[in-house]
């Protein structure tokens, strides 16, 4: 009996001291439910392309900055579509407030950079799937980086941002939300 109690205590201690997982989430949307203001502002989507609020916690030790991507895996016949790219987000940030992805980047944390997505402008572009194309999957990926700045050329293609962030990431957190019309 004493041995069993000892193992139980060790298991409880191990669970209590485990590191929490790096996570990203949003209170702005839930799966399949997006307020119209977050939707795309082109192609008849009826939105304003106001970026959703994001929060994250428990980044890996040594995180010096973050990079963020939003990618629709179902667009363009499965080739995908980049909706939002941001990098050099300071390690002190614990999230991005609603509207942070506005064009010009004035609402982003100091030093952060907004990249051009597939819509051709820097900043957030909300979900805008073609009518009748089913639910699209919007993957938000936050990369915890070991450097203060992401090493990429000026005006990078979205794929370059993603590859650079992946290659220098200490860890990454993802959350996926769906939307269809």
Element (H, E) at 99: none
Q: How confident is the prediction along the chain (181 residues), in pLDDT tens digits per residue?
A: 454 544 444 444 444 434 579 999 999 998 778 999 999 998 788 899 999 999 999 999 999 999 999 999 999 988 999 999 999 999 999 999 999 999 888 899 999 999 999 999 999 999 999 999 999 999 999 999 999 999 999 999 999 999 999 999 999 999 999 999 8
Ranges of beta strands (E only) in the chain are 23-25, 54-57, 65-72, 81-90, 95-96, 113-115, 136-145, 169-179
What is d(CA 64, CA 44) in angstroms, rounded to the nearest whole number?
Answer: 40
pLDDT computed for residue 6 by the predictor: 40
Give the CATH number of domain 23-179; options: 3.40.50.1820, 3.10.20.30, 1.10.4010.10, 3.90.280.10.
3.90.280.10
Give the domain ranges of the chain.
23-179
The secondary structure of the chain in percent helix, strand, coil, rounded to multiples of 5, reads 20, 30, 50
Residues 125/52, Cβ–Cβ less than 8 Å: no
pLDDT computed for residue 4 by the predictor: 52
Phi and psi angles of residue 180, each rounded to the nearest 5 degrees, phi first: -145, 160
pLDDT computed for residue 153 by the predictor: 93
């Amino acid at each position: 009996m004493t041995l069993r109690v000892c193992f139980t205590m060790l298991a409880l201690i191990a669970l209590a001291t485990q590191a929490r997982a790096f996570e990203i989430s949003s209170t702005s949307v839930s799966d399949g439910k997006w307020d119209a203001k977050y939707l795309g502002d082109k192609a008849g989507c009826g939105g304003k392309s106001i970026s959703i609020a994001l929060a994250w916690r428990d980044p890996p030790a040594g995180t010096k900055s973050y990079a963020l991507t939003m990618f629709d895996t179902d667009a363009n016949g499965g080739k995908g579509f980049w909706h939002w790219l941001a990098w050099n987000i300071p390690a002190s940030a614990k999230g991005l407030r609603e509207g942070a992805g506005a064009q010009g980047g004035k609402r982003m944390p100091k030093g952060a950079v907004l990249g051009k997505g597939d819509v051709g402008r820097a900043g957030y572009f909300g979900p805008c799937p073609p009518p009748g194309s089913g639910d699209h999957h919007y993957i938000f990926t936050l990369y915890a980086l070991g450097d203060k700045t992401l090493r990429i050329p000026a005006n990078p293609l979205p794929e370059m941002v993603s590859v650079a962030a992946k290659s220098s990431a200490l860890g990454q957190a993802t959350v996926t939300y769906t939307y269809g019309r």
